Protein backbone atom coordinates (compact mmCIF):
# COMPACT_ATOMS: atom_id res chain seq x y z
CA UNK A 1 0.00 0.00 0.00
CA UNK A 2 1.11 3.55 -0.76
CA UNK A 3 0.11 6.77 0.95
CA UNK A 4 -0.64 9.80 -1.22
CA UNK A 5 -1.25 13.50 -0.59
CA UNK A 6 -3.83 15.15 -2.84
CA UNK A 7 -3.92 18.92 -2.38
CA UNK A 8 -6.79 20.99 -3.76
CA UNK A 9 -5.45 23.21 -6.54
CA UNK A 10 -6.76 24.52 -9.85
CA UNK A 11 -5.13 21.44 -11.44
CA UNK A 12 -6.75 18.87 -9.09
CA UNK A 13 -10.21 20.37 -8.52
CA UNK A 14 -13.24 20.33 -10.79
CA UNK A 15 -16.51 22.22 -10.52
CA UNK A 16 -20.14 21.33 -10.80
CA UNK A 17 -20.22 17.62 -11.52
CA UNK A 18 -18.57 14.41 -12.67
CA UNK A 19 -17.15 13.44 -16.06
CA UNK A 20 -15.32 10.40 -17.39
CA UNK A 21 -13.51 12.76 -19.77
CA UNK A 22 -11.56 14.47 -16.98
CA UNK A 23 -7.87 13.72 -16.65
CA UNK A 24 -7.22 12.02 -13.28
CA UNK A 25 -5.75 14.18 -10.55
CA UNK A 26 -4.17 11.06 -9.04
CA UNK A 27 -3.70 7.40 -9.98
CA UNK A 28 -3.52 4.80 -7.21
CA UNK A 29 -3.69 1.08 -6.49
CA UNK A 30 -6.46 -0.57 -4.54
CA UNK A 31 -5.75 -0.28 -0.81
CA UNK A 32 -3.79 2.95 -1.06
CA UNK A 33 -4.58 5.78 1.34
CA UNK A 34 -4.92 9.46 0.50
CA UNK A 35 -4.72 12.64 2.56
CA UNK A 36 -7.19 14.72 0.57
CA UNK A 37 -7.93 18.43 0.74
CA UNK A 38 -11.26 19.95 -0.32
CA UNK A 39 -12.58 23.49 -0.59
CA UNK A 40 -16.10 24.89 -0.47
CA UNK A 41 -17.36 28.30 -1.50
CA UNK A 42 -16.90 28.80 -5.24
CA UNK A 43 -20.05 30.90 -5.56
CA UNK A 44 -19.56 32.92 -2.34
CA UNK A 45 -15.82 33.57 -2.35
CA UNK A 46 -16.22 37.23 -3.33
CA UNK A 47 -18.29 37.80 -0.17
CA UNK A 48 -16.15 35.71 2.17
CA UNK A 49 -14.17 36.94 5.20
CA UNK A 50 -10.39 36.68 5.08
CA UNK A 51 -10.24 33.65 7.37
CA UNK A 52 -12.36 31.73 4.85
CA UNK A 53 -10.66 32.90 1.67
CA UNK A 54 -7.25 31.25 1.52
CA UNK A 55 -4.85 32.06 -1.35
CA UNK A 56 -5.36 28.53 -2.68
CA UNK A 57 -9.16 28.88 -2.74
CA UNK A 58 -8.88 32.28 -4.40
CA UNK A 59 -6.60 30.84 -7.08
CA UNK A 60 -9.06 28.01 -7.74
CA UNK A 61 -12.05 30.34 -7.97
CA UNK A 62 -10.34 32.83 -10.25
CA UNK A 63 -8.22 30.56 -12.44
CA UNK A 64 -9.97 27.20 -12.79
CA UNK A 65 -9.61 26.05 -16.39
CA UNK A 66 -12.81 25.84 -18.49
CA UNK A 67 -12.36 22.10 -19.06
CA UNK A 68 -12.55 21.54 -15.29
CA UNK A 69 -15.94 23.26 -15.08
CA UNK A 70 -18.09 20.22 -15.77
CA UNK A 71 -21.67 21.31 -15.14
CA UNK A 72 -23.82 23.91 -13.44
CA UNK A 73 -23.58 22.42 -9.95
CA UNK A 74 -22.16 24.61 -7.16
CA UNK A 75 -19.65 22.16 -5.70
CA UNK A 76 -15.87 22.13 -5.91
CA UNK A 77 -14.71 18.50 -5.97
CA UNK A 78 -11.18 17.19 -5.54
CA UNK A 79 -10.26 14.50 -8.07
CA UNK A 80 -10.94 12.42 -9.95
CA UNK A 81 -8.85 9.59 -8.54
CA UNK A 82 -8.17 6.72 -10.95
CA UNK A 83 -8.01 3.29 -9.27
CA UNK A 84 -5.98 0.81 -11.31
CA UNK A 85 -7.86 -2.32 -12.43
CA UNK A 86 -11.29 -0.90 -11.53
CA UNK A 87 -13.85 -1.96 -14.14
CA UNK A 88 -17.59 -1.48 -14.61
CA UNK A 89 -19.47 -3.89 -12.37
CA UNK A 90 -16.92 -3.67 -9.56
CA UNK A 91 -17.53 -1.84 -6.28
CA UNK A 92 -15.31 0.88 -4.82
CA UNK A 93 -15.08 0.78 -1.04
CA UNK A 94 -14.34 4.21 0.44
CA UNK A 95 -13.05 4.03 4.01
CA UNK A 96 -13.30 7.37 5.80
CA UNK A 97 -10.37 7.25 8.21
CA UNK A 98 -10.30 10.93 9.25
CA UNK A 99 -12.38 14.06 8.54
CA UNK A 100 -11.69 17.52 9.95
CA UNK A 101 -12.42 21.16 9.03
CA UNK A 102 -9.37 22.94 7.66
CA UNK A 103 -10.60 26.45 8.51
CA UNK A 104 -12.32 27.90 11.61
CA UNK A 105 -15.29 29.17 9.61
CA UNK A 106 -18.04 27.82 7.37
CA UNK A 107 -21.11 29.25 5.70
CA UNK A 108 -24.81 28.65 5.29
CA UNK A 109 -26.82 30.02 2.36
CA UNK A 110 -30.51 30.31 1.58
CA UNK A 111 -30.99 30.32 -2.20
CA UNK A 112 -34.06 31.73 -3.91
CA UNK A 113 -36.30 28.93 -5.14
CA UNK A 114 -34.46 26.23 -3.18
CA UNK A 115 -34.97 24.53 0.16
CA UNK A 116 -37.99 22.89 1.74
CA UNK A 117 -39.90 26.19 2.13
CA UNK A 118 -38.95 28.36 -0.85
CA UNK A 119 -42.31 30.16 -0.80
CA UNK A 120 -41.77 31.32 2.80
CA UNK A 121 -38.04 32.10 2.60
CA UNK A 122 -37.66 33.56 -0.88
CA UNK A 123 -34.87 36.06 -0.21
CA UNK A 124 -31.26 34.89 -0.53
CA UNK A 125 -29.23 35.01 2.67
CA UNK A 126 -25.58 34.20 3.27
CA UNK A 127 -24.11 33.70 6.73
CA UNK A 128 -20.53 32.89 7.68
CA UNK A 129 -20.44 30.90 10.91
CA UNK A 130 -17.33 30.74 13.14
CA UNK A 131 -16.22 27.25 14.19
CA UNK A 132 -14.72 26.67 17.63
CA UNK A 133 -12.38 23.88 16.60
CA UNK A 134 -10.82 23.60 20.06
CA UNK A 135 -14.18 22.78 21.65
CA UNK A 136 -15.69 21.21 18.53
CA UNK A 137 -18.77 23.42 18.46
CA UNK A 138 -20.42 26.21 16.49
CA UNK A 139 -22.59 28.75 18.28
CA UNK A 140 -25.56 29.88 16.20
CA UNK A 141 -26.76 32.55 16.30
CA UNK A 142 -23.65 34.08 17.79
CA UNK A 143 -23.97 34.92 21.49
CA UNK A 144 -27.23 32.99 21.67
CA UNK A 145 -25.93 30.20 23.86
CA UNK A 146 -27.09 27.65 21.27
CA UNK A 147 -24.08 25.41 20.69
CA UNK A 148 -24.09 22.92 17.84
CA UNK A 149 -21.66 19.97 18.06
CA UNK A 150 -19.42 19.67 15.02
CA UNK A 151 -19.85 16.30 13.30
CA UNK A 152 -17.92 16.71 10.05
CA UNK A 153 -18.55 14.64 6.95
CA UNK A 154 -18.24 14.89 3.17
CA UNK A 155 -21.56 15.60 1.45
CA UNK A 156 -20.27 14.31 -1.89
CA UNK A 157 -18.59 10.96 -2.52
CA UNK A 158 -19.02 9.80 -6.08
CA UNK A 159 -17.70 8.17 -9.22
CA UNK A 160 -17.97 9.06 -12.91
CA UNK A 161 -20.49 7.50 -15.28
CA UNK A 162 -20.41 6.98 -19.06
CA UNK A 163 -22.36 10.21 -19.60
CA UNK A 164 -20.12 13.10 -20.66
CA UNK A 165 -21.08 15.14 -17.64
CA UNK A 166 -23.35 14.79 -14.64
CA UNK A 167 -24.28 17.68 -12.38
CA UNK A 168 -23.09 17.36 -8.78
CA UNK A 169 -26.38 18.26 -7.09
CA UNK A 170 -28.63 15.18 -7.33
CA UNK A 171 -27.44 11.93 -5.73
CA UNK A 172 -27.86 8.67 -7.59
CA UNK A 173 -26.47 5.22 -8.24
CA UNK A 174 -22.99 6.75 -8.62
CA UNK A 175 -23.13 8.39 -5.19
CA UNK A 176 -22.75 12.13 -5.64
CA UNK A 177 -24.40 14.64 -3.33
CA UNK A 178 -25.64 12.10 -0.80
CA UNK A 179 -25.55 14.60 2.11
CA UNK A 180 -25.85 11.83 4.71
CA UNK A 181 -24.62 13.10 8.07
CA UNK A 182 -24.09 9.54 9.34
CA UNK A 183 -21.03 9.14 7.08
CA UNK A 184 -18.53 10.47 9.58
CA UNK A 185 -15.04 9.26 10.51
CA UNK A 186 -14.90 5.47 10.64
CA UNK A 187 -17.67 4.93 8.09
CA UNK A 188 -17.40 2.96 4.86
CA UNK A 189 -19.24 3.77 1.65
CA UNK A 190 -19.63 1.26 -1.19
CA UNK A 191 -20.08 2.75 -4.67
CA UNK A 192 -20.84 0.85 -7.90
CA UNK A 193 -18.18 1.40 -10.58
CA UNK A 194 -19.35 2.50 -14.03
CA UNK A 195 -16.18 3.41 -15.95
CA UNK A 196 -12.60 2.10 -15.99
CA UNK A 197 -10.63 3.44 -13.04
CA UNK A 198 -13.85 4.43 -11.21
CA UNK A 199 -12.77 8.13 -11.29
CA UNK A 200 -13.69 8.95 -7.70
CA UNK A 201 -14.17 12.54 -6.51
CA UNK A 202 -14.90 14.01 -3.08
CA UNK A 203 -16.00 17.33 -1.62
CA UNK A 204 -18.85 19.37 -0.14
CA UNK A 205 -17.54 19.31 3.43
CA UNK A 206 -20.16 19.83 6.14
CA UNK A 207 -19.22 20.59 9.75
CA UNK A 208 -22.79 20.13 11.00
CA UNK A 209 -26.11 19.27 9.39
CA UNK A 210 -29.55 18.17 10.48
CA UNK A 211 -31.33 15.32 8.74
CA UNK A 212 -33.09 16.87 5.75
CA UNK A 213 -30.70 19.82 5.27
CA UNK A 214 -33.93 21.79 4.91
CA UNK A 215 -32.74 25.27 3.92
CA UNK A 216 -30.47 23.77 1.17
CA UNK A 217 -27.10 24.03 2.95
CA UNK A 218 -25.41 22.82 6.12
CA UNK A 219 -22.38 24.52 7.70
CA UNK A 220 -20.47 24.33 4.43
CA UNK A 221 -16.80 23.95 5.22
CA UNK A 222 -13.46 23.45 3.56
CA UNK A 223 -12.51 19.99 4.79
CA UNK A 224 -9.50 17.69 4.96
CA UNK A 225 -9.70 13.94 5.19
CA UNK A 226 -7.82 10.69 5.04
CA UNK A 227 -9.44 7.98 2.95
CA UNK A 228 -8.59 4.49 1.77
CA UNK A 229 -9.93 3.29 -1.58
CA UNK A 230 -10.33 -0.45 -2.02
CA UNK A 231 -11.49 -2.26 -5.11
CA UNK A 232 -14.10 -4.92 -4.39
CA UNK A 233 -14.61 -7.49 -7.11
CA UNK A 234 -16.51 -9.72 -4.69
CA UNK A 235 -19.41 -7.28 -4.32
CA UNK A 236 -21.99 -6.27 -6.91
CA UNK A 237 -24.27 -3.32 -6.18
CA UNK A 238 -26.72 -1.23 -8.18
CA UNK A 239 -26.88 1.62 -5.65
CA UNK A 240 -24.54 2.75 -2.85
CA UNK A 241 -24.73 1.32 0.63
CA UNK A 242 -22.77 2.34 3.72
CA UNK A 243 -21.65 1.01 7.06
CA UNK A 244 -20.90 2.84 10.30
CA UNK A 245 -19.65 1.43 13.59
CA UNK A 246 -23.26 0.83 14.62
CA UNK A 247 -25.41 0.49 11.50
CA UNK A 248 -25.78 -0.78 7.95
CA UNK A 249 -27.27 1.98 5.78
CA UNK A 250 -29.27 1.56 2.60
CA UNK A 251 -30.30 4.51 0.45
CA UNK A 252 -33.14 5.61 -1.78
CA UNK A 253 -33.12 8.59 -4.15
CA UNK A 254 -36.23 9.74 -6.01
CA UNK A 255 -38.28 12.80 -6.90
CA UNK A 256 -40.58 12.40 -3.89
CA UNK A 257 -39.92 11.30 -0.33
CA UNK A 258 -42.52 8.54 -0.69
CA UNK A 259 -40.64 7.09 -3.65
CA UNK A 260 -37.27 7.52 -1.93
CA UNK A 261 -38.57 5.71 1.17
CA UNK A 262 -39.87 2.87 -0.98
CA UNK A 263 -36.49 2.48 -2.66
CA UNK A 264 -34.54 2.63 0.62
CA UNK A 265 -36.89 -0.01 2.05
CA UNK A 266 -36.59 -2.28 -0.99
CA UNK A 267 -32.81 -1.94 -0.86
CA UNK A 268 -32.80 -2.89 2.83
CA UNK A 269 -35.00 -5.94 2.13
CA UNK A 270 -32.65 -6.99 -0.67
CA UNK A 271 -29.67 -6.51 1.66
CA UNK A 272 -31.22 -8.63 4.41
CA UNK A 273 -32.15 -11.39 1.97
CA UNK A 274 -28.62 -11.45 0.63
CA UNK A 275 -26.61 -11.25 3.84
CA UNK A 276 -28.86 -12.83 6.51
CA UNK A 277 -30.78 -15.41 4.46
CA UNK A 278 -34.14 -14.02 5.56
CA UNK A 279 -37.09 -14.39 3.25
CA UNK A 280 -38.46 -11.24 1.65
CA UNK A 281 -41.46 -11.28 3.99
CA UNK A 282 -39.29 -11.81 7.08
CA UNK A 283 -37.02 -8.94 5.99
CA UNK A 284 -40.05 -6.68 5.44
CA UNK A 285 -41.31 -7.44 8.95
CA UNK A 286 -37.86 -6.87 10.44
CA UNK A 287 -37.66 -3.47 8.74
CA UNK A 288 -40.93 -2.51 10.43
CA UNK A 289 -39.70 -3.72 13.80
CA UNK A 290 -36.10 -2.57 13.95
CA UNK A 291 -34.88 -0.50 10.98
CA UNK A 292 -34.94 3.29 11.29
CA UNK A 293 -35.77 5.22 8.12
CA UNK A 294 -34.67 8.83 8.07
CA UNK A 295 -34.85 11.75 5.68
CA UNK A 296 -31.36 12.28 4.27
CA UNK A 297 -32.10 15.50 2.42
CA UNK A 298 -35.09 17.16 0.74
CA UNK A 299 -33.33 19.83 -1.31
CA UNK A 300 -31.19 18.19 -4.01
CA UNK A 301 -33.73 18.72 -6.78
CA UNK A 302 -34.86 16.55 -8.45
CA UNK A 303 -33.64 13.76 -6.16
CA UNK A 304 -34.68 13.65 -2.51
CA UNK A 305 -33.10 11.08 -0.22
CA UNK A 306 -34.16 8.62 2.46
CA UNK A 307 -31.85 6.18 4.21
CA UNK A 308 -32.58 3.09 6.29
CA UNK A 309 -30.42 2.24 9.31
CA UNK A 310 -30.14 -1.38 10.42
CA UNK A 311 -28.57 -1.66 13.92
CA UNK A 312 -25.76 -4.18 13.75
CA UNK A 313 -26.28 -4.92 17.46
CA UNK A 314 -29.43 -6.95 16.72
CA UNK A 315 -27.57 -9.42 14.51
CA UNK A 316 -26.23 -12.56 16.15
CA UNK A 317 -23.85 -13.13 13.25
CA UNK A 318 -21.96 -9.93 12.40
CA UNK A 319 -22.14 -8.89 8.76
CA UNK A 320 -18.80 -8.10 7.17
CA UNK A 321 -19.04 -6.31 3.87
User: What pLDDT, in 10s, does the model give residues 77-128?
Assistant: 999 999 999 999 999 999 999 999 999 999 999 999 999 999 999 999 999 9
pLDDT at 301: 79
* pLDDT for 321 beyond 90: no
Q: Using one digit for the tens of pLDDT, what is the confidence trace for 260-293? A: 999 999 999 999 999 998 999 999 999 999 999 9
Q: Are residues 167 and 272 in the same domain?
A: no
**Domain finish residue from 183, 205, 232:** 232
pLDDT at 242: 98
Q: Are residues 251 and 208 in the same domain?
A: no
Q: Is 1 exposed, middle or buried (0-12, 13-18, 19+ CB in 10 A)?
A: exposed
Q: Are residues 291 and 219 in the same domain?
A: no
pLDDT at 318: 81
Q: Using one digit for the tens of pLDDT, what is the confidence trace for 201-234? A: 999 999 999 999 999 999 999 999 999 999 999 9
DSSP assignment, residue 45? G
pTM: 0.97
Averaged over 285-306, what is the pLDDT? 95
The three-point CA angle 207-213-215 to 5° equals 110
* pLDDT for 319 beyond 90: no
Please state, in angstroms and rounded to a whole number, the distance separating the CA atoms of residues 310 and 45. Answer: 40
* pLDDT for 37 beyond 80: yes
Residue (of 178, 1, 14, 15) closest to 81 by Cα position: 14
Q: Are residues 91 and 216 in the same domain?
A: yes
Q: Are residues 166 and 294 in the same domain?
A: no
Please count the structural domains in the chain: 2
CB–CB of 193/87 below 8 Å? yes
Q: Are residues 142 and 289 in the same domain?
A: no
- 321 located within any domain: no
Q: Are residues 228 and 262 in the same domain?
A: no
* pLDDT for 298 beyond 80: yes
Please state, in angstroms and rounded to a whole number, the distance separating the CA atoms of residues 230 and 171. Answer: 21
**Domain finish residue from 201, 232, 263:** 232
What does the mean pLDDT of the chain come to? 96
**Domain finish residue from 232, 256, 276:** 232
Domain that holds residue 300: 246-314
Q: Are residues 59 and 158 in the same domain?
A: yes
Q: Are residues 160 and 272 in the same domain?
A: no
pLDDT at 164: 83
* pLDDT for 256 beyond 80: yes
DSSP assignment, residue 195? S
* pLDDT for 258 beyond 90: yes
Q: Are residues 10 and 143 in the same domain?
A: yes
pLDDT at 165: 87
- 121 located within any domain: yes
* pLDDT for 147 beyond 90: yes
- 124 located within any domain: yes
Q: Using one digit for the tens of pLDDT, what is the confidence trace for 4-17? A: 999 999 999 999 99
User: Which residues are CB-neighbours of 143 under 8 A, at least 6 positions away?
Assistant: none
More confident residue, 103 or 169: 103
Residue 259 pLDDT level (bands cut at 50, 70, 90):
very high
* pLDDT for 320 beyond 80: no
pLDDT at 200: 98
DSSP assignment, residue 290? H
Q: Are residues 136 and 264 in the same domain?
A: no
Q: Are residues 59 and 161 in the same domain?
A: yes
Amino acid sequence: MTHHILKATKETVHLGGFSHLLEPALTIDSGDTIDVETYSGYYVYDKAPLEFLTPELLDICQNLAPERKIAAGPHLLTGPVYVRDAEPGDVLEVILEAIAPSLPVGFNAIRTGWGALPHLFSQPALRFIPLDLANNIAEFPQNSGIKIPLKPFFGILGVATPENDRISIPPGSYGGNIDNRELQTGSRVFLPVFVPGALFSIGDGHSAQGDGEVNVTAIETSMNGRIMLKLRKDLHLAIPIAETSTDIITMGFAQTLDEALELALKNMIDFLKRFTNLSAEEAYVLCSLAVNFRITQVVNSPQKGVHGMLPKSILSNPISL
